[in-house]
Amino acid sequence: MLVSLVHGLQTPANHPVILNKENSSVDCIPMSESKPVALITNALEFAGPPAVEALVQAGFQVVVHDVAFAERQAQEDYQRAHPEVVVLADQQPTGIVEAAWAVSSRLDVLVSNDAYRPIHGAIETAEMESLQSTLDRLVVFPFAVAQAAIPRLITQARARVVFISSNRTRLPLRGGAIPDIARAGANALVKSLSIELAPHNIPVNAIAPNFLYSETYYPKARFVDNPKGRAYLEQTVPAGRLARPEEIGELIHYLATMQGTFLTGAIIDFSGGWPVAVTPPT
């Protein structure tokens, strides 16, 4: 139903649009059909904001999902701030992909930007609900979005898939079993999906950050404004700071627009040289 509504509209270009499957409201279509379409999940969190900015600047029609967009007010607030993008209300993976496809009958890039505040604690006291919710957000949801997107991606001449995961498993923290399990699973998904899509010339790669500024993981108040937080970064990260959002935006831009397809299945370390061993005492 949503697809037929979208295709039947004749509306001015560059007009804000919110696609809302629940109430079947489609304000208008903001793009020419010649633009490549990039779908970005969880646009408000983690690498979502720099991904949106980078791909808009690269000339994509950007379509965004976020769990907050289940609320109409959040959709409208984001749309006012980003009139150049298409905001999706859909929360189910199949609905997200089909709504993105409905914008212009194409899907060229999927940026699976998956974020969930880490739940730390000893395994013996961990709640199974915490494990399940983390897996749902960081493994099950991106798996389902990728599964729904595959038939659409393989119809495009130059489709690309970029996951934003984590390299936290390179140096596990005590009490980090739940987020470590989820991130390891997501990185394994990237490898498996790259194998399946390689015959279709669709590269699938992940950027695995640590110490990237975001309010989800490394909030400004704790790691930028606080002297103790800055000292921790200087001691722990060889680069001595948090990554700036625009720096990961550059890498997302590259992976979304690169000409070749032989770089696939890569889990790209994005952590300023971390981890590094502690200097031994003299």
Which residues have a Cβ under 8 Å from the Cβ of 89 and sit 6 or more positions away?
A: 18, 19, 20, 21, 22, 69, 70, 72, 75
Q: What is the per-residue pLDDT for 33?
A: 55
Give the Cα separation of 153 and 146 in Å (integer).
9
What are residue 49's phi and psi, to 5 degrees?
-60, -50
Q: Are 65 and 88 in contact (CB under 8 A)?
A: yes
Confidence of residue 185 (pLDDT cuts 50, 70, 90): very high
Spell out the domain ranges in the chain: 2-270
pTM summary value: 0.88
Q: What is the per-residue pLDDT for 186?
A: 98
Give the domain 2-270 fold: Rossmann fold (3.40.50)
Q: Bridge-partner residues for 209, per DSSP? A: 270
Which residues have a Cβ under 8 Å from the Cβ of 37 and sit 6 or more positions away?
A: 60, 61, 63, 100, 101, 103, 104, 106, 107, 108, 109
Which residues have a Cβ under 8 Å from the Cβ of 112 and sit 6 or more positions away?
A: 41, 142, 145, 146, 161, 162, 163, 164
Average pLDDT, the chain: 90
Tracing tokens 């697809």 back to the chain, one arrives at: 3
What percent of the chain is predicted at pLDDT more than 90?
85
What are residue 139's phi and psi, to 5 degrees?
-125, -55
Does 249 score more than 90 pLDDT? yes
Give the Cα separation of 40 and 112 in Å (integer).
6
Q: Are 89 and 72 in contact (CB under 8 A)?
A: yes
Confidence of residue 37 (pLDDT cuts 50, 70, 90): very high
Per-residue model confidence as pLDDT tens digits over 230-241: 999 999 999 999
- Any alpha helices (H) in the chain, and if so which ranges? 2-7, 48-57, 72-81, 93-104, 128-135, 141-153, 177-197, 220-223, 227-236, 245-257
Q: Which amino acid is at 172?
A: P
Q: What is the per-residue pLDDT for 34?
A: 74
Q: How would DSSP label each residue in 51-95?
A: HHHHHHHTT-EEEE--GGGGSHHHHHHHHHH-TTSEEE---SHHH
Q: Are 26 and 17 in contact (CB under 8 A)?
A: yes
Does 23 score more than 70 pLDDT? no
Which long-range contacts (C-beta less than 8 Å, at least 24 apart) are formed by 176-180?
176/118, 176/120, 177/123, 177/126, 178/118, 178/119, 178/120, 178/121, 178/126, 178/130, 178/131, 178/134, 179/116, 179/118, 179/119, 179/120, 179/134, 179/138
User: Beta 25-26 vs 109-113: how paired, if at all?
Assistant: unpaired
Confidence of residue 19 (pLDDT cuts 50, 70, 90): low
The H or E element that residue 204 is part of is: strand 204-209
Q: Is 105 helix (H, G, I), strand (E, B) or coil?
A: coil
